[in-house]
Amino acid sequence: MTGGTMKVGAVVLTMGNRPEELRALLDSVAKQDGDPIEVVVVGNGSPLPALPESVRTIELPENVGIPAGRNVGIEAFGPGGRDVDVLLFLDDDGLLPGTDTAELCREAFAADPELGIISFRIADPDTGVTQRRHVPRLRAADPMRSSRVTTFLGGANAVRTEVFEQVGGLPDDFFYAHEETDLAWRALDAGWMIDYRSDMVLHHPTTAPSRHAVYHRMVARNRVWLARRNLPALLVPVYLGVWLLLTLARRPSKTALRAWLGGFREGWKTPCGPRRPMKWRTVWRLTRLGRPPVI
């Protein structure tokens, strides 16, 4: 399939509290070169503002979390999103500054049959700066360097829908945090590759990562679930031991550490969903890509 014949859709998840930013994002999607992009906006437990007639809308009665909300958007394009070839996932307060992003995605997927996911570069609209945490690799000093990676950014990416059909969607129960890595590991285990592309840009205001107790609890709980679901048994204690030490080394506040440890315990005591440990050859692939699954 050539890039020009690939159908592209977009999923935007919103809490309904950024109507002006959402409209600006939708305008930037509508201006993309090539065939029009069909857009689904999912209201996650909130009513949606007035939107262009061309945009499909879904209003969920309650906030089901980020991964479950995005899964609803995927299924709006048929089982596993199969009515289109590629799905863009875009934060509702982001914006595509270039008109060629969709075409670049089509070309990239058409040129590389093994490519399953593309992670965009997030840049501040005023300064152009890309935060280090938004570069999905350990060697993140140069955000302008594109490369193969082992995970991706949840609100600035494109996924070939064959990936969803083969390995399933995002893990609903995660609610927030690490759901992208869970999907990335399953995709890599199935033979797909992931690219970070610095030339595919989403403008997004610079923000600090949240520091409230719920954030720390979910980050820790989901880290344990991620390992229990996906890693070979031998690597589970290594991976989680490393992250425990890293967390302690960062000297979080007492409140944050208490929440993190509570989430860590919760991750062990609660069901994590189906366990499908990755193959050892996938462990080696992750290692060769610069991020062995112990960190």
Q: Which pLDDT belongs to residue 32? A: 98
Q: Tokens for 58, please give them.
A: 């879904």
Say whether pLDDT at 181 is over 70.
yes
Cα separation of 79 and 285, whole Å? 29
Query: Quick one: pLDDT band at residue 4, thresholds 50, 70, 90?
Result: low
Say whether pLDDT at 163 is over 70.
yes
Say whether pLDDT at 255 is over 80.
yes
The 10 Å Cβ neighbour count of residue 195 is 19
Edge-to-edge strand list for the sheet holding 193-203: 56-60, 38-44, 8-14, 86-91, 156-160, 115-123, 193-203, 147-149
Q: Which pLDDT belongs to residue 3? A: 66
pLDDT of 258-278, one tens digit each? 999 999 999 999 999 999 999
Q: Which pLDDT belongs to residue 211? A: 64
Q: Strand 86-91 relative to strand 56-60: parallel, antiparallel, unpaired? A: unpaired
**Better-scored residue on pLDDT, 208 or 196:** 196
Say whether pLDDT at 132 is over 90.
yes
Cα separation of 124 and 245, whole Å? 32
How long is the chain?
A: 295
Q: How much helix, strand and coil, in percent to the nearest 5, is found in the chain?
A: 40, 20, 40
Contacts of 158 (CB under 8 A, 6+ apart): 8, 86, 87, 88, 89, 105, 109, 117, 118, 120, 200
Cα separation of 90 and 217, whole Å? 25
